[in-house]
Amino acid sequence: MDMIMKNELDPVFETLGLLFSCYQGEEVRTETIKGLNELGIDGELFYQKHFKILERYEKYFKDHYKKTENEAFFFKDKDQDWIIILIASVIENKHWLQGLDGVTDEEIRDTLMSVIVNEGDDSEELSRQKIPSITNELDIIEFLEPLEMDEGRKWHLLKFLHRPRYWMEFLMEAISKNIPVYEKALASVEKPFQALMERYAAHKDDRFDRLIHNFASQAVVYPTLAEPAIQLVLYSHGYQGLFLELLPRRGKSTDAAKDAVIMKLKALSDRSKLDILCILKESKKYNLELAGTMKLSASTMSHHMNVLFSCGLVNIEKRNGKVYYCLEEEAVLELIGDLKQLLL
């Protein structure tokens, strides 16, 4: 089976994203603008121009969503990495929304642990081969202790992994009760949403297509409004933000060439990103290998790589069950050519 491109949103993904925005709205806005600035775009101006539909979408949901018991455990004061763990675990097990009868603590715990440890490995299947046997709380602590994450998130994961079925019941309730609210929130922005979907259907992103082919060739790929500037590939699902086609891309016009140059030069102005490209010039590296060489955390490294990938300066390929980053030499030559054309 080949990749399936959906022309509709994924209700589960959207509802999770909207629940997260209820608690982290302003922080997400700040991080989005920061990320756009790192791409050489005026983040504040871009946000004001294009994100009105998102603000209306999120406001309707926040004004009408159904509060559920212990929802704050999942969404209050949480970062994007935590949300990705939740999203990957739930998206790959949507049948849990029908009820957890017959689903054991071990099954849920193994899923969560697999998502945590499988970063950088083959994305087409959620492998449990590396998961240690868990018999008590000490085993969970030993599993979490070497992970590169802050102590607050480790403590939160300890609580979750200690009683996974108990906590997952609350998460399933929060999603199930709020999918109808998501549907009404989407209806409240129907007209501008349809315009976005028409542009999305006409837009082709060859780099994202290659990313899906390398990571999850049989994935079901959805557009997303809740995370409109994201490109995310999970194990059997992919998500592409509806605002991505609005970002500058290299084209035939002088303005397009200038926008592409600015994006690349902005990335190269950061010493860490330039050092990464110099390392990749010598050989392809996988994420944790790069993080070790650069002495950076895996999450910080992922942030740098997302920016470099968005600029087109790196590409990704899969080899021997690992995801490798490589220098996109053609993009470097294009940058040099654009600079010559513009300045010489």
Sheet of strand 231-233: strand arrangement? 4-5, 220-224, 237-241, 231-233
So what's the pLDDT on residue 125? Answer: 52
pLDDT value of position 122 = 44
User: So what's the pLDDT on residue 123?
Assistant: 46
Top pLDDT among 42 and 188 is at 188
| pTM assigned to the model | 0.81
Task: Give mean pLDDT, residues 15-32.
Answer: 86
Average pLDDT, integer, range 210-236 = 78
Q: What is the pLDDT of residue 124?
A: 46
The predicted structure's pLDDT at residue 215:
59
Pairing of strands 285-286, 322-327: antiparallel
First-last CA distance in the chain = 50
| pLDDT computed for residue 120 by the predictor | 44
3-state helix, strand, coil in the chain (%, to 5): 65, 10, 30
Given this model, what pLDDT does residue 121 score? 47
Average pLDDT estimate for 133-140: 82
- DSSP for 55-110, please give it: HHHHHHHHHH----TTTHHHHTT--HHHHHHHHHHHHTTGGGGG--TT--HHHHHH
pLDDT of 62 reads 95
Beta strand pairing call for 220-224 and 4-5: parallel
Distance of alpha carbon 332 from alpha carbon 88, whole angstroms: 34
Q: Is the pLDDT of residue 247 over 80?
A: no
Asked whether residue 160 carries a pLDDT value surpassing 70, the answer given is: yes
Single-letter amino acid, residue 36: L
What's the full length of the chain, in residues? 344
- Report the range of poorest mean pLDDT among 115-124, 207-216, 268-277: 115-124
Higher pLDDT, 324 or 121: 324
Q: For the segment 309-322, what is each residue's pLDDT rounded down to a tens digit? A: 878 898 887 776 66
Residue 20's CB is within 10 A of a number of other CB atoms, namely 24
Model pLDDT, residue 20: 92
What pLDDT score does 118 carry? 67
pLDDT in tens, 162-213: 999 999 999 999 999 999 999 999 999 999 999 999 988 887 766 666 666 6
Position 182 scores a pLDDT of: 98
Residue 323 has pLDDT above 70, yes or no: yes
Residue with tokens 């790589």: 305
Q: pLDDT: is 316 or 254 the higher one? A: 316
Q: Which of 183-187, 213-217, 246-250 has the lowest mean pLDDT?
A: 213-217
